Amino acid sequence: MLAAGASSRMGAPKALLAWSGESFLALACRRLREGGVARTIVVVGPPHGELVGAAATALPEVTVVANPRPEEGQLSSLVCALGVVGANAALVALVDHPAVRASTVRAVLAAHAQGAGPIVQPRSGGRGGHPVLVARSLFAEILAAPVEGGLRAIVKRDPARVAIVEVDDPGIYTDIDDLGTYAALVRGVPPTD
């Protein structure tokens, strides 16, 4: 769970925003567990790392990892998480995508278990999104990649190794980045790009 961003456009830590009676962080971690993820690694960073880390530590089956340089982008957070992943794959989830359903997590994990490519990405309504699963065979490539390209560059590098899983879940691309998208989420209006 990548949660190390500064939330500068939001003005408050996105991980701690409330929706449906839970924080984004608690809701996202719960849905990962319900979807079949045994252990969630939450990556935190300044300036909200201590607050988000404390909230994450209170959740079941969560390990907190600090990214000292989150300003380098999401890939820098993923690199921090991969250092403690003991599984044969990592499911990359974003804390600002709180509407992802547990059924989507199950579908992505099932595709991986059935031998899908080393990258599994959900798609809904013709749009790709998160969480994206990357197999351990790609960890070295991710660790060596330039951080400015992000995971997206690795996914796009070789489309043949990406397995697409069709889901009915607009939460995979519902990105809550500012007060407007957050207000729309709370009102029940799907945020748009």
Give me the domains of the chain, ranges plus CATH numbers. Answer: 14-178 (3.90.550.10)
Q: Phi/psi at 5 (nearest 5 deg)?
A: -65, 160
Q: Who contacts 5 (Cβ-Cβ below 8 Å, separation ≥6)? A: 14, 45, 70, 95, 96
Mean per-residue pLDDT, 54-69: 96
Q: Would the pLDDT of 193 be above 50?
A: no
Give me the pLDDT at residue 7, please. 85
Whether 106 contacts 94, CB under 8 Å: no
Mean per-residue pLDDT, 167-173: 95
Is residue 136 left, alpha or beta, with left meaning phi > 0 and alpha meaning psi from -120 to 50?
alpha
Give me the pLDDT at residue 62, please. 97
Give me the pLDDT at residue 86, please. 85
For the chain, give the percent of residues with pLDDT over 70: 97
Whether 50 contacts 42, CB under 8 Å: no
pTM of the model: 0.93
How many helices and strands, by DSSP H and E, does the chain display?
7, 9
Give me the pLDDT at residue 102, please. 97
Average of per-residue pLDDT values in the chain? 93
Q: For 78-131, write each residue's pLDDT tens digit.
A: 999 999 988 899 999 999 999 999 999 999 999 999 999 999 999 999 999 999
